[in-house]
Structure formats: C-alpha cells, structure tokens
Amino acid sequence: METVILAVVIAVVVLGAISGLVVSGRKKKQLPPPPPATPKPSVTAPPAEPQVGEEAETPRDEERRTIEEVELPVAEAPAAEAEALVAEPEAPAAPAVEVPEPTAGRLVRLRARLARSQNTLGKGLLTLLSREHLDEDTWEEIEDTLLTADVGVAPTQELVDRLRERVKVLGTRTPEGLRELLREELLTLIGTDADRTVHTANGIGNGGDEIPGVVLVVGVNGTGKTTTTGKLARVLVADGKSVVLGAADTFRAAAADQLQTWGERVGARTVRGPEGGDPASIAFDAVKEGIAESADVVLIDTAGRLHTKTGLMDELGKVKRVVEKHGPVGEVLLVLDATTGQNGLVQARVFAEVVDITGVVLTKLDGTAKGGIIIAVQRELGVPVKLVGLGEGPDDLAPFEPEAFVDALID
Ligand SMILES: Nc1nc2c(ncn2[C@@H]2O[C@H](COP(=O)(O)OP(=O)(O)OP(=O)(O)O)[C@@H](O)[C@H]2O)c(=O)[nH]1
C-alpha cells in the first residue's frame, strides 16, 4: 500500500513540474514587444522643416506636416471679451524655438528655383539673340518673349530699342558679348540703386520715446500675406531682432492661428483678437505690446478684401491711423502673387491709392515664368521690390538682389 501511495505522489510531482514548464514557456511567447526607442512626434512640436541635404533623415513614408498644417491649441477667450489677446510663445505646449538660417545670400541659395521657373525668359532671350541673323522677325520674337514674361509694354519696347541699338553700334555677335549686353539692359530696367532694405529701425513715438519699427503687411487674401509675415519674422529673428506679430487679419478665421504658429517657431509673441474683431484695435495692441516688451519690430498682418475700394480704404486707413497714435509706421509692404500676372498690377494700383506702399513682396516666383512682373510692378508703383518668395519652405523668402536675379535668369 505504502508503495502505491509513494508512486502516486511521485507521479503528481512529475506532472506538476511538466505543466509548470509548459506554462512558463507560453508566458514567454506572450511578452509584449519592447517600447519603440524614439518617442512619437508631438503635434505641438512639429519637426523642423528639412533643410537642404537632410532628406535622408526623414523616412520616406512618414507623413509630413507643413507649418501651415500644424494646429496649435488656441487660448480660450470669453466670448464677450473684445480685447486683443497676447499669445505667449513660452506656453508649455509651444514648439521648440528654431534658429532660422541667415538671410545673406538667400537669393543665391534659391537661384536654382529662379533659373528653373524663369527659364523661358532668360534662356529664351539668349537663344534668340544668338541667331545668325537678327532680323525683324527675331526682334519681334524677343519682344514677345518679354511681353509673355509680363515685363510690360513700355519696358519691353525700351529694352528692345536699346539692345538693337547697342548690338548694331558695337557689332556684338559673340554669345558672351550678347549675354553681357542683355544682363546690363535687364539690370537697367530693374534698377540697381533703389533702396531695397525693409525699414525696421526703431521710430520715435509720439511720447518722445523710442518705439519698435512698425511694418504693415497688406495685400489681397491668398497672395501669401500671412505666410510672408511669418517668413519675414524669421528673417528678422535670423538677423538678431526681437519681433511681435499682430494678427489683424480677422477676416479669415485660421489666419491668426497660422501667424501664431509661425511666431512660436521663432519665439515671437502674437497679439490676436476675437474672430471678426476690429483689425485696427489688434494692430494698436500689437504695437502697445511691442513697446511694453521693448521689441525691435512689430509686424502686422492685415486683411485685404477687395470687395470695394472704399471698404478697403476704410479698413487699412483706420489700421494705419490707429497705429500712428503710438508713432510712425516705418514700412508698408504690399504682397503680390507673381502667378496672377496683370491681375497683380490691378491690385497694386488699388492698394497704392489706399495706402502709401513703401515696398513690394513678390511671392510664388518659383511657380511662374512671369518674373518680368518685377519690372512692371516697380514701374506701376514707383516703389522697389524688396523681397521675393521662392517656395513654401519657412526660409524661402529672400531679400531681392537685382544682380543675383538677372544672373539666375541668363546663366
Ligand atoms: N510656391 C510658393 N507658395 C507660396 C509662397 N508664398 C506663399 N505661398 C503659399 O500660398 C498659400 C497662401 O498663403 P497665405 O499666407 O495663407 O495667404 P494670405 O494672403 O495670407 O491669405 P489669407 O490668410 O487668406 O489672407 C499658402 O499655401 C502658402 O504656402 C511662395 O513664395 N511660393
């Protein structure tokens, strides 16, 4: 009997050991995979836009978010409160502050985009000029090329007349000689001695104290006005200035969010108001904030609805007048979309009647062959093109340099 009991005990122990091994083996298989080594990107801190040569760092299938697409949490304001709000860039959810690339030589960096988009103008002219016989038909084709690139009738005529004269007198026939003549004549039309600096120096306020430089950014909605204001903030920060942004475009709901996103990326505060609020009061508060924090520059994005000239005049005129209660406005930049061609000129005319434009920003030059609009718009307004937009990237706004521009066209 004892032997039977002993045998049963041994059998139970052996069975227990076997089942324990099986269970522990199963458990091992069910272990969860280790957590991924890299944390997920947070929505409020988007990765910086890739720079040249950095493509390899971003997996191809990773979904990219542009600066415009990133939605930031918006501070909730009581509905009745009509006061402008100051958006703190240091809010806990704010993305890390970036250091934009320096502005010197940007046009040279972006030269390939210019050369690509303006190929028909520069190269087209050179090809025509290099023909064996520069007969009437060829000169007409040269004229057509210039007109197609939106250079405008009068400047086209001037350029063709001068080129014809100089080719005849000098007898220039070599490709190098013709290229140099064309370069000189294009530069004459664009102008090399205009003051193309964006005036952001401090002004003297009405109280006698120094106040930040104030820049109003005006233009029809959709031309790239808000984007340009954001890019300009980056240009200024890159040049060592502190910036406050005024989101006075209260017409499009997302414009203030968009501007704030740009500001946060370079540590600039954005003053904003309720949707549909009074743009002039936001502009006023933005300058007030700029004065309070001793900022170098206040950039004000305005709404540009071309519904009626009177409406536009009322709105922009009021914004300017109200800002001038603090002190002078140093610069009024008109943003024009280069792809709209002659339509851009019509807009330029209307805005110039409404407010004193001191400089032009031509956006989307990367997307049109009509670079000649630079010449036409300067003629139309009598003010220089100061900045050009050459892409959607955050640092794709460049100070306009006539020599670099012409070289990109014809090299
Ligand atoms: N390719 C290219 N796109 C640009 C350039 N500048 C702006 N854009 C794009 O143009 C579109 C319109 O720009 P916004 O800044 O929203 O235009 P806006 O004039 O402020 O329009 P509202 O906010 O409605 O007043 C955006 O998709 C920009 O990325 C540029 O130089 N090149």
User: Binding site: what residues are annotated?
Assistant: 219-226, 301-305, 363-366
| 410 CB within 6 A, ligand 1 | no
Amino acid, single-letter form, for residue 182: L
| 264 has a pLDDT exceeding 70 | yes
How much distance in Å is there from the Cα of 389 to the middle of ligand 1? 9
Torsion of CA 365, 402, 397, 351, to 10 degrees: -70
Per-residue pLDDT reduced to its tens digit, 20-33? 433 333 333 333 33
pLDDT at 102: 75
**Whose CA is closest to 388, among 330, 335, 339, 331?**
335
How much distance in Å is there from the Cα of 391 to the middle of ligand 1? 9
Rounded Cα distance, 279 and 268, in Å: 19
Rounded Cα distance, 368 and 255, in Å: 25
| 372 has a pLDDT exceeding 60 | yes
Distances (CA, A) of 117 to 65, 391, 410: 25, 11, 12
CATH fit for domain 118-190, picks 1.20.120.140, 3.40.50.720, 1.10.1370.40, 1.20.1260.10 = 1.20.120.140
**Whose CA is closest to 214, among 298, 319, 318, 292?**
298
Looking at per-residue pLDDT, the higher value among 79 and 251 belongs to 251
Amino acid, single-letter form, for residue 228: T
Q: Are the CB atoms for 358 and 194 separated by under 8 Å? A: no
How much distance in Å is there from the Cα of 321 to the middle of ligand 1? 27
pLDDT at 107: 77
* Ligand 1 atom with the shortest distance to the CA of 66: 29
The pLDDT of 369-375, averaged and rounded, is 90
* Ligand 1 atom with the shortest distance to the CA of 249: 25
Q: How sure is the predictor about 376, in pLDDT bands with cuts at 50, 70 and 90?
A: very high
How much distance in Å is there from the Cα of 311 to the middle of ligand 1? 23
Which of 65, 227, 333 is the best mutation target for the ligand 1 pocket, counting ligand atoms within 8 Å of the beta carbon and taking the most?
A: 227
| 254 CB within 6 A, ligand 1 | no
Give buried/exposed letters for 235-251 (b at 16+ CB in 10 A, else e).
bbbbeebbbbbbbbbbe
| 47 has a pLDDT exceeding 80 | no
| 55 has a pLDDT exceeding 90 | no
How much distance in Å is there from the Cα of 173 to the middle of ligand 1? 43
* Ligand 1 atom with the shortest distance to the CA of 304: 25
| 223 CB within 6 A, ligand 1 | yes
| 364 CB within 6 A, ligand 1 | yes
pLDDT at 368: 86
The pLDDT of 174-180, averaged and rounded, is 89
How much distance in Å is there from the Cα of 356 to the middle of ligand 1? 23
How much distance in Å is there from the Cα of 225 to the middle of ligand 1? 6
Per-residue pLDDT reduced to its tens digit, 327-360? 999 999 999 999 998 888 988 888 898 889 999 9
Rounded Cα distance, 190 and 388, in Å: 14
Q: How sure is the predictor about 52, in pLDDT bands with cuts at 50, 70 and 90?
A: very low
| 359 CB within 6 A, ligand 1 | no
To the nearest whole percent, how much of the chain has pLDDT over 70?
Answer: 76
Looking at per-residue pLDDT, the higher value among 345 and 111 belongs to 345
Rounded Cα distance, 179 and 300, in Å: 42
> Which pair of tokens denotes residue 149?
């690139």
pLDDT at 13: 46
pLDDT at 311: 77
Query: Tokens 């505060």 belong to which residue?
Result: 269
User: Binding site for GTP: what residues are annotated?
Assistant: 219-226, 301-305, 363-366
pLDDT at 35: 36
Q: Chain-centre distance of CA 94, in angstroms?
A: 20
| 339 CB within 6 A, ligand 1 | no
Looking at per-residue pLDDT, the higher value among 279 and 87 belongs to 279
Contacts (Cβ under 8 Å, ≥6 apart) of 366: 110, 113, 114, 116, 117, 389, 390, 391, 396
Per-residue pLDDT reduced to its tens digit, 197-223? 999 999 898 888 999 999 999 998 889
| 298 has a pLDDT exceeding 50 | yes
Residue 360: CB atoms within 10 A of its CB come to 28
Which range is most confident: 9-18, 111-120, 247-256? 247-256
| Domain 196-410 architecture | 3-Layer(aba) Sandwich (3.40)
| 172 CB within 6 A, ligand 1 | no
Give the closest residue (by CA) to ligand 1 atom 10: 224
Give the closest residue (by CA) to ligand 1 atom 25: 221
Can you give the pTM of this predicted structure?
0.76
The pLDDT of 157-181, averaged and rounded, is 91
| 289 has a pLDDT exceeding 60 | yes
Contacts (Cβ under 8 Å, ≥6 apart) of 70: 43, 44, 46, 261
To the nearest whole percent, how much of the chain has pLDDT over 90?
Answer: 47
Whole-angstrom Cα Rg for the chain: 30
Torsion of CA 31, 32, 38, 43, to 10 degrees: -170
Q: How sure is the predictor about 2, in pLDDT bands with cuts at 50, 70 and 90?
A: low
> Which pair of tokens denotes residue 54?
């950095």
How much distance in Å is there from the Cα of 223 to the middle of ligand 1? 6
Length of the chain: 411
Per-residue pLDDT reduced to its tens digit, 65-88? 333 333 333 333 333 334 456 655
The phi and psi torsions of 171 (rounded to 5 degrees) equal 65, 25
Give the closest residue (by CA) to ligand 1 atom 1: 391
pLDDT at 306: 62
* Ligand 1 atom with the shortest distance to the CA of 254: 23
pLDDT at 357: 95
pLDDT at 354: 84
Rounded Cα distance, 103 and 270, in Å: 22
ipTM of the complex: 0.92
Average pLDDT taken over every residue of the chain: 78
Give buried/exposed letters for 364-389 (b at 16+ CB in 10 A, else e).
bbbbbbbbbbbbbbbebbebbbbbbb
* Ligand 1 atom with the shortest distance to the CA of 363: 31
* Ligand 1 atom with the shortest distance to the CA of 220: 19
Q: Where are the domains of the chain?
A: 118-190, 196-410
